[in-house]
């Protein structure tokens, strides 16, 4: 049985984004990411995608 705990799901996936260039994870506010105000710590790029939940 696979029971999903909501607190764990939020901790792993909420507000988590992946840099398009260097694949680094960053946790940030989604509105700031959409406006381009968040930059990657590693490469400085401002293009992110959402972290995909695996099955």
Give tens-digit pLDDT for 9-26. 899 899 999 999 999 999
Q: How far is CA 5 from CA 2, 11, 13, 55, in A?
A: 10, 10, 12, 15
Domain at 13-50: CATH code: 2.20.28
User: How far is it, in rounded angstroms, from Cα 25 to Cα 36?
Assistant: 16
Structural domain boundaries in the chain: 13-50
Whole-model pTM: value is: 0.80
User: How far is it, in rounded angstroms, from Cα 40 to Cα 4?
Assistant: 30
User: How far is it, in rounded angstroms, from Cα 23 to Cα 38?
Assistant: 15
Give tens-digit pLDDT for 38-54. 999 999 999 999 998 87
Q: Are 51 and 15 in contact (CB under 8 A)?
A: no
């Amino acid at each position: 049985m696979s029971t999903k705990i909501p607190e764990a799901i939020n901790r792993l996936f909420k507000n988590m984004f992946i840099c398009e260039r260097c694949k680094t994870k960053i946790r940030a506010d989604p509105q700031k990411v959409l406006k381009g105000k968040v930059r990657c710590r590693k490469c400085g790029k401002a293009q992110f995608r959402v972290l995909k939940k695996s099955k």
